[in-house]
Structure 1
């Protein structure tokens, strides 16, 4: 059972990384000058990562509300990342990210994996 929980949490972490990549991809593929594209490709994922670390991470310095609210906000970040990919003409990747993140977030929520000490 421990390896299943570890695998689920590892996939959740990979989803976080994919979300950051999605925001960077979206920022770079906006219709604007190259300087703006590069700035957005760095700034968007950086801003999301900072907000995630401060409010949503397991060791957040300012933890947000309860576990259900934090989980819902994490899912919102994944939905926005999926929408970013979809808007950047990566429809299949956007929909795949949405479906996988929905499944993993639901599993984490149902099994209450925030309480697990690895």
Structure 2
């Protein structure tokens, strides 16, 4: 069960980065701005995730703070999808992450 939940959370993390890139590339702006936002937004989220949330994070946070950073990243992804004109997938992304994270914690997985 834990393996399936971990696999799902990994896919949700990839969807988060994809959502950030989608937002950037669909901006109503010139191509340089779209290119910068489409590559920069996922990169910014990946840097934050790598620094604070990954198993080999450079900054070790207490579990509640780590969970807060993870939630903030997914909320940003949901908002970016909504700003790109797709609010329902944004809500689904956040809710699936929250459900999967809750099930992982209940199964004894560390945050």
Q: Same fold by TM-score, threshold 0.5 exceeded?
A: yes
Q: Which of the numbers 44, 64, 77 marks the counterpart of 1:81?
A: 77
Instruction: Give how far 1:108 is off.
Output: 2.5
Q: Which residue of structure 2 aligns with residue 54 of structure 1?
A: 51
Do residues 6 (structure 1) and 6 (structure 2) align? no
Do residues 110 (structure 1) and 100 (structure 2) align? no
Do residues 70 (structure 1) and 86 (structure 2) align? no
- Give the secondary-structure state (helix, strand or coil) at the position aligned to 1:114: coil
- Structure 1: segments with no counterpart, 5+ residues: none
Distance 2:19 2:25 in 1: 10
Runs of 4+ residues deviating >6 angstroms: none
Give TM-score scaled by structure 1 length: 0.86
Count of residues in Structure 1 that have an aligned counterpart in Structure 2: 111
- Structure 2: segments with no counterpart, 5+ residues: none
Distance 1:36 1:51 in 2: 22
Question: Contact 1:85 / 1:93 at 8 angstroms: preserved in 2?
Answer: yes
